[in-house]
């Protein structure tokens, strides 16, 4: 049995840590949350020389061990707790060759915890471009560690890094600085009080307000006496520590690094002048958005049509090949159409994640955040609020988690409450199927009406979030001020491997996350649609035959009438008719009502629900889209999905809080049911009113 070691991958944001993680683990990785908290946890397996396996944990980006956010707390809690199952046998600190001095601060802190610490200097391919040269042997001697010079873009240095990790026992644990030098009197007394404890670890326990889990409680309680110094005094000691560390780093880099500025060729300033310009910046961003939405439609149409017809054929084949009965009916009319209702949107969702990954990898997304900060401040939001609002286009849940970086509680609360207005990928299936049904396929200036409609829905959601934030800002009377600081990473060509892994991981999470819910709901809906109480359901065949005795119906038409009668008097039909009076003014029938109610579990369930309902009792091979297009309005006659009812439905989903998981995460983040309940009631009422006005005006 091969030995497995724990490796902690640590580094500042924008050092290429994720690229190193992907290079080491490939597809052998998974994403979850740390136990008890909503901070993303990425981990993977890497095979090392001599049959050693490495369990690699990609820790959240942090600038130092002086934590200012929950993400950074995670790093400290792990490094201070030897009893944690993930405590690293070796720490790998990833640095960026262009920001080595700043990145080394974190390296020296981790090394002073006497954990074997390797240094990875990433983006080595940019050294000649930036006129940087390094004396690796000298730096290894001065920093007392082993160094791997890596270029994930050129795939260089990864094998050496694996070899260094496998030889982790040979890595020095000698600290970079003597902690007592910070303040000899204070740290001398601390050392006398705890002669058997690591001094720098004690210092971090004193200065950090974090949960140390299984760390020795006696030690934590005892060092409380050393917190008697005022916060100002502790801050002063932290500043002295930082100065000492930079003196050590400067000394090492003085001879270990040289930069010839005459060789540096930098387009960054010229690009930033355009991309962050107060006019052209927004123009470029608008063009990029239009291109993305147009591409989502144009590139995905062929695979979507193929998937749609494939599931229709699979359902028909199941009915014809398997013996008749409840199980066959469940497969053909419940599970297959329900899953088809989500699989059909994989191409478009994958393309959306592809574009987001490219924008993030290239460094452009940071410019968008900076650009949008100018707008955010006018509406009372922190500049940092734009990060959750933009990431909300993928999913509101991690977006709401991302608000933990906002220091002001009120600004964070406002961001949490308005983030669900931004259009997430779960709304995409609903938008796409309705747009395809009610928006014509023409083009204007080369852009399709359907792509423009989709972009407009995204802008409406974002605009509503901003206006809502302004209103909440006035109601909650926010007085606090925060400063917006964002690092502008260098522009770089996106790494194909990183983009591909992001698309696979995000799409997989979407499919399996939604798939489990849809599968369960499809089975429940099939049962409710296939069975019913009373004579109207059980004696449907005789009732229909009597009712249409005078008409010369074919066997196929008669079976269709019987299936329709059964569906209307099934359990789901009865429930649908009960809520129909409330939704009829919006242009919906009872079937859409059932889809709206069931999609509270997850918005994308809407399409799967309609696919299941329309498939029950149907023997034809029509696709989901065709069945929805053929649906007739029982009150007004004509197609059910008209321009008026379609726009009404699009607006309802743009504004309604149709996501149980988002409510749960809001409750967890605010530690109260008050805010998610208010969110649910206000957003749903607003969505209903807007959808009602839209339908009544357009019909």
- pLDDT tens readout for residues 41-54: 788 888 888 778 88
Q: Indicate the pLDDT class of residue 263, thresholds 50, 70 and 90.
A: low
User: How many independent structural domains does the chain possess?
Assistant: 3
Question: Residue range 493-500: average pLDDT?
Answer: 81
Of 268-272, 418-422, 484-488, 499-503, the one with minimum mean pLDDT is: 484-488
Residue where a domain terminates, one of 264, 295, 316: 264
If you average pLDDT over residues 145-170, what whole number do you get? Answer: 88
Most confident segment among 204-208, 295-299, 449-453, 619-623 = 449-453
Q: What is the DSSP letter of 112?
A: T
Cβ atoms 368, 285 nearer than 8 A: yes
Provide the CB-side half-sphere exposure for 213 (13 A, CA): 20
Task: Determine the length of the chain.
Answer: 699
Work out the average pLDDT over 644-672. 82
3-state secondary structure of 326: helix
Same domain, 74 and 121: yes
Q: Same structural domain for residues 438 and 551?
A: no
Residue 481 lies in a domain: no
| Mean pLDDT score, 666-684 | 86
pLDDT of residue 214: 46
Cα separations (Å) of 180 from 199, 238, 261?
A: 8, 13, 38
Shared domain for 568 and 650, answered yes or no, is: yes
Q: Return the pLDDT at 692.
A: 94
Are 553 and 677 part of one and the same domain?
yes
Note down the domain range covering 254: 1-264
Strand partners, 45: 55
- Residue 74 has a pLDDT of 81
Among 427, 443, 476, the domain-final residue is: 476
pLDDT at 518 over 70: no
Same domain, 149 and 207: yes
Q: How confident is the model at residue 474 (pLDDT cuts 50, 70, 90)?
A: confident
Whether residue 8 is predicted with pLDDT greater than 60 in this model: the reply is: yes
Measured between alpha carbons, how far is residue 664 from residues 405, 416, 600 in Å?
Answer: 20, 12, 12
Asked if the model's pLDDT at residue 119 lies above 90, the reply is: yes
User: Has residue 493 been placed in a domain?
Assistant: no
Residue in this structure with the two tokens 């009319």, named with its chain if needed: 333
Cβ–Cβ under 8 Å, residues 480 and 471 = no
Tell me: do 383 and 241 sit in the same domain.
no
pLDDT at 371: 79
Q: What value does the mean pLDDT take over residues 605-609?
A: 70
pLDDT at 608: 66
Most confident of 166-175, 385-394, 636-645: 166-175
pLDDT at 89: 92
Highest averaged pLDDT of the listed ranges 287-301, 324-338, 573-587: 573-587
In a domain, 490, yes or no: no
Residues 6+ apart with CB under 8 A from 421: 461, 462, 464, 465, 468, 654, 655, 683
Distance between CA 240 and CA 449 in Å, rounded?
Answer: 61
pLDDT value of position 186: 83
For residue 148, what is the domain's CATH number? 3.40.50.300
- Give the whole-angstrom CA distance, residue 510 versus residue 515: 8
Instruction: Determine the pLDDT at residue 108.
Output: 93
The most confident of the ranges 282-291, 553-562, 679-688 is 679-688
Confidence of residue 94 (pLDDT cuts 50, 70, 90): very high
Enter the pTM of the model: 0.62
Q: Does 245 score more than 80 pLDDT?
A: yes
Q: How far is CA 419 from CA 42, 109, 416, 424, 627, in A?
A: 24, 36, 6, 10, 34
Query: Which residue has 């840590």 as its token pair?
Result: 17
- Kindly report which listed range (612-616, 673-677, 695-699) carries the lowest average pLDDT score: 612-616
Of the candidates 62, 58, 80, the one whose C-alpha atom is nearest the C-alpha of residue 6 is: 58
Give the Cα separation of 133 and 256 in Å (integer): 8
pLDDT at 615 over 90: no
User: Regarding predicted confidence, which is higher, 441 or 387?
Assistant: 441
**181-195, 414-428, 558-572, 581-595: lowest mean pLDDT where?**
558-572
CA torsion, points 88, 94, 100, 103, in degrees to nearest 10? Answer: -50
The number of beta carbons lying within 10 Å of the beta carbon of residue 456 is: 13
- Assess whether pLDDT exceeds 90 at residue 688: yes
Please tell me the predicted confidence (pLDDT) of residue 34: 40
Closest CA to 523 of 562, 568, 566, 572: 572
Mean confidence (pLDDT) of the chain? 79
Residues 197 and 215: their CA atoms lie apart, in Å, by 12
User: Domain check: are 46 and 168 in the same one?
Assistant: yes
Range in 81-95, 144-158, 322-336 with the lowest mean pLDDT: 322-336
Looking at the fold, whether 260 and 311 belong to one and the same domain comes out as no
Which range (42-51, 473-482, 574-583, 677-686) has the least confidence? 473-482
Task: Tell me what pLDDT residue 2 has.
Answer: 56
Looking at the fold, whether 342 and 204 belong to one and the same domain comes out as no
pLDDT at 659: 72
Residue 217 pLDDT: 45
Q: Are residues 447 and 507 in the same domain?
A: no
Average the pLDDT over 599-610 and give the result. Answer: 70
Higher pLDDT, 111 or 441: 111
Find the mean pLDDT for residues 187-199.
81
Q: Flag whether 487 is in a domain.
A: no
Residue 281 confidence (pLDDT): 85
Q: What pLDDT was estimated at residue 469?
A: 87
Per-residue DSSP letters for 643-699? HHHHHHHHHHHHHS---HHHHHHHHHHHTSSHHHHHHHHHHHHHHHHHHHHHHHHH-
Note whether 468 and 510 are same-domain residues: no
pLDDT of residue 35: 42
Q: What is the pLDDT of residue 120?
A: 92
Using the predicted structure, report yes or no on whether residue 690 has a pLDDT greater than 90: yes
The reported pLDDT for the residue numbered 118 is 93
Instruction: Assess if residue 211 is contained within a domain.
Output: yes
Q: Specify the pLDDT at position 92.
A: 94
Task: For residues 112 and 234, state if they share a domain.
Answer: yes
């Amino acid at each position: 049995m091969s030995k497995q070691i724990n490796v902690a991958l640590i580094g500042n944001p924008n050092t290429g840590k994720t690229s190193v993680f992907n290079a080491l683990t490939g597809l052998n990785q998974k994403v979850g949350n740390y136990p008890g908290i909503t901070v993303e946890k990425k981990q993977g397996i890497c095979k090392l020389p001599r049959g050693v396996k490495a369990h690699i944990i990609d820790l959240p980006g942090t600038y130092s061990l002086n934590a200012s956010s929950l993400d950074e707390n995670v790093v400290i809690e792990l490094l201070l707790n030897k009893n944690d199952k993930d405590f690293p046998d070796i720490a790998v600190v990833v640095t960026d060759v262009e920001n080595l001095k700043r990145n080394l601060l974190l390296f020296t802190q981790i090394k002073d915890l006497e954990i074997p610490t390797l240094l990875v200097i990433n983006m080595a391919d940019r050294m000649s471009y930036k006129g940087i040269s390094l004396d690796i042997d000298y730096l290894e001697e001065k920093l007392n560690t082993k160094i791997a010079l890596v270029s994930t873009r050129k795939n260089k240095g990864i094998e050496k890094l694996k070899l260094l990790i496998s030889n982790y026992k040979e890595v020095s644990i000698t600290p970079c600085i003597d902690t007592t030098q910070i303040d000899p009197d204070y740290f001398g007394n601390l050392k006398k009080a705890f002669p058997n404890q690591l001094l720098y670890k004690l210092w971090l326990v004193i200065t950090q307000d974090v949960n140390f889990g299984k760390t020795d409680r006696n030690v934590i309680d005892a060092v409380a006496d050393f917190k008697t110094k005022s916060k100002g005094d502790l801050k002063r000691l932290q500043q002295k520590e930082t100065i000492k560390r930079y003196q050590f780093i400067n000394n090492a880099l003085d001879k270990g690094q040289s930069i010839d500025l005459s060789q540096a060729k930098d387009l960054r300033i010229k690009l930033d002048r355009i991309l962050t310009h107060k006019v052209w910046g927004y123009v470029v961003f608008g063009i990029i958005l239009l291109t993305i939405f147009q591409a989502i439609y144009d590139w995905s149409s062929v695979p979507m049509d193929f998937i749609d017809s494939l599931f229709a054929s699979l359902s028909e084949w199941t009915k014809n090949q398997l013996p008749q009965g409840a199980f066959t009916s469940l497969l053909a009319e419940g599970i297959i159409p329900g899953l088809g209702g989500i699989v059909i949107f994989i191409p478009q969702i994958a393309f959306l994640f592809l574009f987001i990954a490219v924008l993030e990898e290239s460094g452009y997304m940071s410019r968008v955040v900076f650009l949008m900060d100018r707008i955010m401040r006018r509406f009372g939001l922190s500049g940092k609020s734009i990060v959750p609002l933009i990431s909300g286009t993928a999913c509101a849940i991690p977006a709401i988690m991302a608000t933990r970086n906002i220091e002001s509680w009120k600004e964070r609360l406002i961001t949490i409450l308005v983030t669900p207005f931004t259009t997430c990928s779960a709304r995409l299936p609903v938008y796409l199927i309705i747009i395809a049904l009610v928006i014509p396929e023409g083009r204007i200036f080369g852009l399709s009406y359907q792509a423009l409609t989709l972009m407009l829905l995204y802008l409406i959601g974002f605009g509503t979030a901003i206006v809502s934030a302004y209103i909440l800002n006035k109601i909650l009377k926010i007085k606090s001020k925060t400063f917006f600081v964002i690092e502008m990473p260098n522009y770089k060509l996106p790494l194909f491997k990183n983009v591909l892994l992001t698309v696979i991981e995000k799409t997989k999470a979407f499919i399996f996350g939604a798939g489990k819910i849809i599968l369960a709901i499809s089975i429940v809906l099939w049962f409710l649609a296939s069975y019913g109480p009373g004579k109207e359901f059980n004696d449907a065949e005789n009732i229909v035959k009597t009712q249409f005795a005078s008409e010369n119906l074919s066997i196929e038409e008669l079976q269709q009438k019987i299936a329709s009668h059964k569906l209307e008097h099934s359990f789901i039909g009865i429930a649908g008719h009960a809520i129909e009076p409330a939704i009829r003014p919006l242009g919906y029938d009872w079937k859409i009502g059932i889809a709206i109610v069931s999609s509270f579990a997850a918005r994308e369930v809407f399409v799967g629900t309609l696919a299941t309902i329309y498939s029950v009792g149907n023997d034809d091979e029509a696709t989901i889209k065709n069945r929805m297009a053929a649906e007739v309005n029982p009150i007004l006659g004509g197609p059910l999905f008209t321009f008026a009812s379609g726009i009404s439905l699009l607006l309802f989903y743009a504004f309604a809080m149709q996501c149980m998981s988002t409510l749960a995460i809001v409750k967890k983040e605010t530690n109260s049911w008050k805010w998610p309940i208010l969110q649910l009631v206000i957003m749903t009422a607003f969505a209903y009113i807007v959808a009602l006005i839209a339908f009544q005006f357009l019909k």
